[in-house]
């Protein structure tokens, strides 16, 4: 598996497996399948309610713990120094591990500076190897990164050929923060990306699918991608992207697909914030 280096020297796989909307009942089987076909990065979150399934699958996999890169996220209801600290211990318990490889603040709401202090402490205590944020858009990210002691190693954002996040690139670069793409195939349904005629045509030239082209386009630019599938054949397909290279011309044609640079979710909409807090809180 190809890897990238984070700004604290931690090595992170360039491609992983995400478990958003994978039910607690199905999660252990899915993560077992994913580890079985070769994924070594698993992305979960407190708000996915499936950390235990991830932990069970890792435990039973026979893969050495140090070969697996576990990512989880602190949810809004656990924001603040004390609550975040307690939630980290709870995540460790559910994941059945004594360290998390990458811990992210899931959303830019609530006492994120308090959460960050708890995450910095967890990092220094060896409970966490790297820390970062998710869904912090450019201005919010800058305000946050400017004032914290340990600079975020990762910002996990919606990113795919239709949502390219080009605007935030220079801001992340200023802090050595790497981008990690959620929804790399377009998300639930994934029609726009996996149904793209251009990606399908480019894929045909390489003997690959539109989904593989989307994942290759991200990883070829050093962006970590974490596609989700509950189907083992698709898990295999999504992992099989390192034996071809997109040409400069193909990369440029894909860049022209960008139509929602900062994402399809309006994080500034109070109704959306209310929904997030009330639904998963």
Is 192 near ligand NAP (CB under 6 A)? no
Choose among 56, 131, 39: nearest CA to 88. Answer: 131
Looking at the chain, the number of H-run helices and the number of E-run strands are 12, 10
DSSP state of 14: S
> Is the CB of 115 or the CB of 156 nearer to ligand NAP?
156
Among 115, 156, 177, 219, binds ligand NAP (CB under 6 A): 156
159 φ, ψ to 5°?
Answer: -155, 130
To ligand NAP, the closest distance from the beta carbon of 250 in angstroms equals 19
To ligand NAP, the closest distance from the beta carbon of 210 in angstroms equals 8
Is 231 near ligand NAP (CB under 6 A)? yes
To ligand NAP, the closest distance from the beta carbon of 230 in angstroms equals 4
Number of residues that bind ligand NAP (CB under 6 A): 28
Residue 48 bears catalytic tag: yes
Is 216 near ligand NAP (CB under 6 A)? no
DSSP state of 45: -
Is 137 near ligand NAP (CB under 6 A)? no
Among 7, 20, 99, 258, binds ligand NAP (CB under 6 A): 20
DSSP state of 48: G
Structure token digits, residue 183:
């929804």
CA–CA separation, 231 and 161 (whole Å): 23
CA–CA separation, 182 and 159 (whole Å): 6
Is 50 near ligand NAP (CB under 6 A)? no
To ligand NAP, the closest distance from the beta carbon of 16 in angstroms equals 8
Is 185 near ligand NAP (CB under 6 A)? yes
> Is the CB of 105 or the CB of 171 nearer to ligand NAP?
105
CA angle 239, 263, 147 (to 5 degrees): 100
Half-sphere exposure (CA, 13 Å, Cβ side) for 248? 0
Is 119 near ligand NAP (CB under 6 A)? no
Q: Which helix (H) or strand (E) holds 156?
A: strand 154-158
Among 72, 78, 91, 135, binds ligand NAP (CB under 6 A): 135
Exposed, middle or buried, 149 (CB in 10 Å: 0-12/13-18/19+)? Answer: exposed
Is 199 near ligand NAP (CB under 6 A)? no
Q: Which residues are identified as catalytic? A: 48
Residue ranges in contact with ligand NAP by CB under 6 A: 18-20, 43, 106, 134-135, 156, 182-190, 194, 211, 226-231, 234, 237-238
């Amino acid at each position: 598996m190809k890897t990238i280096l984070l700004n604290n020297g931690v090595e992170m796989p360039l491609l992983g497996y995400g478990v958003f909307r994978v039910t607690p009942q199905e999660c252990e089987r899915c993560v077992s399948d994913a580890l079985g076909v070769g994924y070594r990065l698993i992305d979960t979150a407190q708000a996915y309610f499936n950390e235990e399934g991830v932990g069970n699958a890792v435990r039973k996999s026979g893969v050495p713990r140090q070969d697996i890169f576990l990512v989880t996220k602190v949810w809004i209801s656990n924001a603040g120094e004390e609550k975040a600290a307690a939630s980290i211990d709870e995540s460790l318990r559910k994941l059945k591990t004594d360290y998390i490889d990458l811990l992210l603040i899931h959303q830019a709401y609530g006492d994120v500076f308090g959460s960050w202090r708890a995450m910095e402490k967890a990092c220094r205590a060896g409970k966490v190897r790297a820390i970062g944020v998710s869904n912090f858009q450019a201005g919010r990210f800058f305000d946050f990164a400017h004032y914290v002691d340990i600079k975020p190693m990762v910002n996990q954002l919606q990113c795919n050929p239709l949502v390219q996040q080009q605007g935030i690139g220079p801001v992340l670069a200023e802090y050595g923060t790497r981008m990690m793409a959620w929804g790399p195939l377009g998300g639930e349904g994934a029609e726009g990306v996996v149904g793209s005629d251009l990606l399908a045509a480019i894929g045909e030239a390489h003997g690959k699918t539109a989904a593989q082209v989307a994942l290759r386009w991200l990883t070829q630019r050093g962006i970590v991608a974490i596609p989700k599938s509950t189907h083992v054949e698709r898990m295999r397909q999504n992992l099989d992207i390192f034996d071809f290279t997109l040409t400069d011309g193909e990369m440029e044609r894909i860049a022209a697909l960008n139509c929602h640079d900062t994402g399809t979710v309006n994080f500034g909409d109070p109704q959306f914030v209310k929904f997030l807090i009330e639904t998963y809180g």
